[in-house]
């Protein structure tokens, strides 16, 4: 293996797809995330990757950890993640801890981490050991619930570009959402992501909130062992919300259910009860996989899709380049068609979707 550090894209650059990257540095091979989806049936191809020394997980969403069944193909390496992320992995998964914010060590390579403002336990990772690489995983600077630690100086950044060149701020999204959220509404949303974030927003606005079991448990976790990933000053409101939220099942108020796409669980049961009624409103706020019940309901006009931001906007990409001083940035989780717009906007940084990138 050459001495120079190299980043290899296995999946997740050039199209929306599962996160899976390989960082080779100091004679070690570190895999960054091993996702599945978000489209059904989409696996990263790790057949030719060979043996990996460690797997680092940025956060617990399916498109970052859903490929753990592929571990035998890469030699069952030790897994590194925060303790909050570890609790969301399949039972019995052994994990070496990474800090939520601070300096960790992976096989002798120092790794700085910070909270990603996107999911409980989620982190960005800044690698030393001659790599100059920052991997943002998914991140958002706009959440009122999840804390986001500023991105550090780095020469090369593999960054969350899930929204391509979109620059609509959350405030504007909220204005568009407001009329849809004013009455009785079902909001299928991830419990380990924007669900609690939207619920806190509506609770603070005086709405009656209802939770399915998974969302209630996630909000309780956020007031307990996962509280370190919260923004300052939200503990009290969140604890009140956890206590006062009613169970899902009645159409009144704002109901939060899982999964977001309606393919099973509490959401599927509530669809059965309510999809042929005129109320409550059905509002989808995030990625809808093709073929999911959520897609059908939006197509039929029974449901509405209005995005709630959980990924960075174009102006965040600009801030990222400016504050980190990055010379090279690699947009992940978006289509290749955004490359020219990103190259124009992020000058003088070199914006590339190359699949193999030597690191300086």
Residues that bind Zn ion (CB under 5 A): 61, 138
In the numeric block, which tokens belong to residue 254?
Answer: 């704002």
Length of the chain: 360
Distance of alpha carbon 187 from alpha carbon 181, whole angstroms = 9
Distance of alpha carbon 309 from alpha carbon 276, whole angstroms = 29
- Buried-exposed string 39-71: b where 16+ CB fall within 10 A, e elsewhere: eeebbbebeebeebbbbbbbbbbebbbbbeebb
Residue number, 136 or 328, with CB nearest to Zn ion: 136
User: Minimum CB separation from Zn ion for residue 312, in Å?
Assistant: 12
Residues 191, 120: contact at Cβ < 8 Å?
Answer: no
User: Minimum CB separation from Zn ion for residue 324, in Å?
Assistant: 21
In the numeric block, which tokens belong to residue 234?
Answer: 């939200």
Residue number, 159 or 271, with CB nearest to Zn ion: 159
User: Minimum CB separation from Zn ion for residue 187, in Å?
Assistant: 18
54, HSE (Cβ side, Cα atoms, 13 Å): 20
Residues 30, 128: contact at Cβ < 8 Å?
Answer: no
User: Minimum CB separation from Zn ion for residue 12, in Å?
Assistant: 12
Distance of alpha carbon 149 from alpha carbon 59, whole angstroms = 15
The candidate with the shortest Cα–Cα distance to 313, out of 157, 160, 154, 135, is 160
User: Minimum CB separation from Zn ion for residue 118, in Å?
Assistant: 6
Residue number, 5 or 84, with CB nearest to Zn ion: 84
User: Minimum CB separation from Zn ion for residue 51, in Å?
Assistant: 27
288, HSE (Cβ side, Cα atoms, 13 Å): 21
């Amino acid at each position: 293996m050459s001495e120079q550090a190299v980043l290899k894209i296995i999946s997740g650059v050039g199209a929306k797809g599962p996160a899976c990257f390989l960082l080779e540095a100091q004679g070690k091979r570190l895999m960054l995330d091993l996702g599945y989806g978000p489209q059904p049936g989409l696996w990263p191809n790790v057949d030719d990757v060979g043996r990996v020394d460690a797997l680092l997980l940025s956060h617990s969403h399916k498109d970052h950890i859903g490929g753990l069944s592929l571990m035998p193909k890469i030699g069952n390496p030790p897994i590194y993640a925060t303790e909050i992320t570890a609790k969301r992995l399949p039972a019995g998964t052994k994990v070496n801890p990474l800090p939520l914010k601070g300096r960790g060590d992976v096989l002798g390579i120092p790794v700085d981490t910070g909270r990603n403002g996107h999911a409980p336990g989620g982190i960005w990772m800044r690698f030393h050991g001659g790599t100059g690489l920052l991997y943002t995983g998914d991140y958002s600077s706009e959440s009122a619930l999840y804390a986001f630690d500023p991105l550090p100086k780095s020469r090369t950044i593999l960054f969350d570009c899930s929204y391509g060149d979109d620059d609509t701020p959350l405030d504007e999204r909220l204005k568009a959402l407001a009329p849809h959220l004013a009455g009785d509404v079902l909001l299928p949303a991830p419990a380990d992501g924007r669900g609690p974030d939207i619920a806190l927003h509506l609770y603070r606005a005086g709405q009656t909130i209802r939770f399915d079991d998974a969302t209630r448990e996630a909000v309780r976790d956020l007031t307990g062992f996962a509280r370190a990933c919260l923004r300052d000053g939200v503990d009290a409101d969140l604890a009140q919300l956890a206590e006062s939220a009613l169970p899902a099942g009645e159409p009144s108020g704002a109901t939060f259910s899982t999964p977001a796409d309606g393919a099973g669980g509490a959401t599927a049961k509530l669809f059965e009860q309510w999809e042929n009624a005129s109320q409550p409103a059905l509002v989808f706020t995030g990625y809808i996989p093709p073929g999911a019940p959520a897609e059908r309901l939006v197509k039929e006009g029974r449901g509405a899709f209005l995005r709630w931001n959980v990924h960075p906007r174009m102006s965040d990409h600009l801030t990222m380049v400016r504050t980190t001083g990055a010379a090279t940035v690699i947009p992940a989780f978006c289509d290749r068609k955004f490359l020219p717009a990103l190259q124009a906007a992020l000058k003088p940084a070199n914006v590339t979707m190359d699949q193999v990138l030597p690191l300086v």
